[in-house]
Structure 1
């Protein structure tokens, strides 16, 4: 099995945090988004991963540090890592085709901007499985249309009348991904463009027209990391899931002086807490110091110093110095508020 991860976007909705770090490497519950996603997919698949192919953007932004992080992820999962580049943002279908040498055999394609919780058994007899989530407002999403055999016969974008309540979340299984490659090549060769870009859906629709059988795999949780508010919310959900799973979230290498931690929280190595109340639903990256602070529902990344702060629904980057009484804040890397 392979996992193909297009992640060349710049994550503009999550600025300023993505000005210096690609969105898939922003930490949620102590682990980069893409690391969480690929690990969770591996658990659902329940079989060894042969290769993980990442499609990155411009090397000036997706540099060697990004490549190193992804290689470490692959090593931890016992998988070969392949790195490809999408230098021009021409859409989801074009991004996948940038990994053309890896598009053979069974594969999962997953876009690295959401997190999931799922326990379903993947139907590997189907030609493809599109992962979905039941939603209350399907008119706001792309949804699947099913026949009487529970096979997907159509993808419908933001339907004005009810089609189904199963929204497409951006994770797909292909029993033979070269079938998708063939159809996407047709899309590119014939310049089939929607919204100014080449879309994966056009390749999928051509597979459906050719008689390929598509089924659904429905996840219990689908968590977005698109902007600051939903990323902080997702962080809280993931912390709760991990705590319920019995995961160790508090480093043995942090120090606490006259401080209190209210679970669930993630606290990294070298964190220093002085006269602080932390939690619930807080993630603190390595070597960050909190002094005279009350923090809940927040993400604070690495090597920052936060003093005299009361924070709720906050997201703070790396190498930040902050001293003040603001509450709902969003601060990028290397910022200073004194």
Structure 2
């Protein structure tokens, strides 16, 4: 099994947090979004992961090394591929065309999920979906009585289905997918100016490929600050029984910790109330503060903070009062 992760986007809706780090490397409960994604896919695949191919922009050597380490953490070889311009989902996947061979999962790195099923690798293809209240903002699928996908509809203006495509796909034959994507590129077949995966899926379905839905129990978005803070909350609930969520190398002095929380290596918490649903990155220092339902990244110093529903980047210095914040990396704020 191979996993292909397109993640070359700029993450503009997450600014300022994505000005210094790509969105897929923003931490959720102590691990980057893309690491959580790869680990969760590995769990439902129920077979060894041979390769994880990351499709990136100009993110730099440090980011690329981190991605290779993430692949290694699930026992796979990592590879880095580049998308120099945003020409659509089909174009992004073809930037890693060398990895389109055998069984393949394609997972776009701006979403996380929880699922209680094991992937049926005997199926031609699986498209993971989630029931949503307002399908007009998503691509959706229609099903027949045999639980097979019959139609793909992009952002329907009238109701056709409430099963939204979440951006994770399984293909039994990666080479077949590659040939269908190449056909779009060779013939300059675009939708709204871009090469779209859904066009290839439609062509494959019309040629007899049977796609089935993979229904998940929860779909977690990481598209903006509020969504990411909520995803952090939900993930901490999922993993609350895991050991070492609070590092043995963290220093906790005269403080109340209300689980579930994550506190990283070298973090210092003094005279504070932390939790529930708080993630504090390594070497951050929290003093005289009350923080709940928030993310504080690495190497930040917060004093007299009263935060809820907040996200604080790395290398931040903050001294102030209660607020609903979105503070990017390397900021200094005093109130």
Give the shorter-chain TM-score range.
over 0.9
Deviation at 1:231, TM superposition (A): 0.4
* 2:199 alignment partner, SS class: helix
Could you tell me which residue of structure 1 aligns to residue 221 of structure 2?
Answer: 224
Q: Does 1:145 align with 2:172?
A: no
SS at match of 2:41: helix
Which residue of 121, 125, 150 maps to 1:124? Answer: 121
Is structure 2 residue 180 aligned with structure 1 residue 171? no
- The answer to whether the 8 Å contact 1:269/1:286 transfers is yes
Equivalent residue of 2:181, what SS?
Answer: helix
Residue in structure 2 matched with residue 277 of structure 1 by the alignment: 273
Does structure 2 retain, via aligned residues, the 8 Å contact 1:130–1:214? yes
Matches within 5 A, 1:103-252: 103-244=100-241, 246-252=242-248
**Cα distance in 2 between the residues matched to 1:258 and 1:165:** 50
| Structure 2: distance between partners of 1:204 and 1:284 | 41
- Identify the residue that residue 23 of structure 1 maps to in structure 2: 23
Q: Provide TM-score, normalisation by structure 1.
A: 0.97
Q: What corresponds to 2:57 in structure 1?
A: 57
Query: Is residue 46–residue 118 contact of structure 2 (8 Å, CA) maintained in 1?
Result: no
**How far off is 1:326 after superposition?**
4.0
How far did residue 163 of structure 1 move? 2.4
Gapped regions of structure 1 (runs ≥ 5): none
Question: How far off its partner does 1:196 sit?
Answer: 1.7
Q: SS of 1:333's equivalent?
A: coil
The equivalent of 2:286 in structure 1 is 290
Displacement of 1:158 in angstroms is 2.4
Runs (5+) with no aligned partner, structure 2:
none
Q: Quote how far apart the aligned CAs of 1:209 are.
A: 1.2
1:320 pairs with 2:316: yes
Residues in 2 aligned to 1:3 and 1:296: alpha-carbon distance in whole angstroms: 35
> Contact 1:2/1:108 (CA < 8 Å) preserved in 2?
yes
Secondary structure (helix, strand or coil) at the match of 1:243 reads coil
**Secondary structure, counterpart of 2:239 in structure 1:** helix
**Contact 1:123-1:215 at 8 Å conserved across structures:** no
What do the CA deviations read for 1:125-154 (whole angstroms, capped 9, x no partner)? 221100111222223321111112111111
TM superposition score normalised by structure 2: 0.97
| Large movers: runs of 4+ above 4 Å | none
Tell me if structure 2 keeps the 8 A contact 1:94–1:188.
Answer: yes
| Structure 1 residue 13: Cα displacement | 0.2
- Alpha-carbon contact 1:232-1:298 (below 8 Å) kept: yes
Give 1:85 deviation, angstroms: 0.3
Secondary structure of 1:83's aligned partner: strand
Residues 314, 328 of structure 1: 8 Å contact kept = yes
Residues 257-281 of structure 1 deviation map (CA, whole Å, 9 limit, x = unaligned): 1101101100000111111100011
Q: CA deviation at 1:161?
A: 3.4
For this pair of structures, how many residues does the alignment match? 334
Distance (Å, rounded) in 1 between the aligned partners of 2:148 and 2:227: 32
Q: Deviations for 1:242-271, whole angstroms, at most 9, x for unmatched residues? A: 115x34311011111110110110000011
